[in-house]
């Protein structure tokens, strides 16, 4: 698995019952330490982006994937910061 590309792992593991794209993306980020994974279906990542940019609604996954291109090749790090923004907003009023 460590030698397979992100796309190949996602394709291969998603064939297993109960394993979806989000699950494989979390494996890539947190277990394999892949630096360029942007989980566009993750609620927390999209919520963090919404808060930071002062949007009324979260971006849709397809649009968010295009937005994420700007963070390459460090999209995993960008996702981490967006998760933190969403977590922080639970305890304070975040202003863009």
Catalytic residue among 36, 41, 42, 87: 42
Phi-psi region of 37 (alpha: psi -120 to 50; beta: other; left: phi over 0): beta
Query: Does the annotation mark 42 as catalytic?
Result: yes
**What is the spatial distance between Cα 49 and Cα 47, in angstroms, rounded to a whole number?**
5
Question: Which of 35, 89, 37 minimizes the C-alpha distance to 58?
Answer: 89
Catalytic machinery residues: 42
């Amino acid at each position: 698995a460590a030698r397979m590309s992100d796309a190949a792992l996602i394709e291969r593991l998603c064939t297993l019952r109960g394993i979806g794209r989000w699950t494989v993306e979390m494996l890539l980020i947190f277990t394999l330490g892949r630096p360029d994974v942007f989980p566009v279906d993750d609620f927390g990542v999209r919520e963090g982006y919404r808060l930071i940019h002062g949007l009324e609604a979260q971006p849709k996954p397809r649009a968010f994937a295009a937005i994420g291109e700007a963070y390459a090749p460090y999209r995993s790090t960008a996702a981490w910061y967006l998760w933190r923004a969403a977590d922080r907003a639970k305890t304070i009023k975040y202003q863009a």
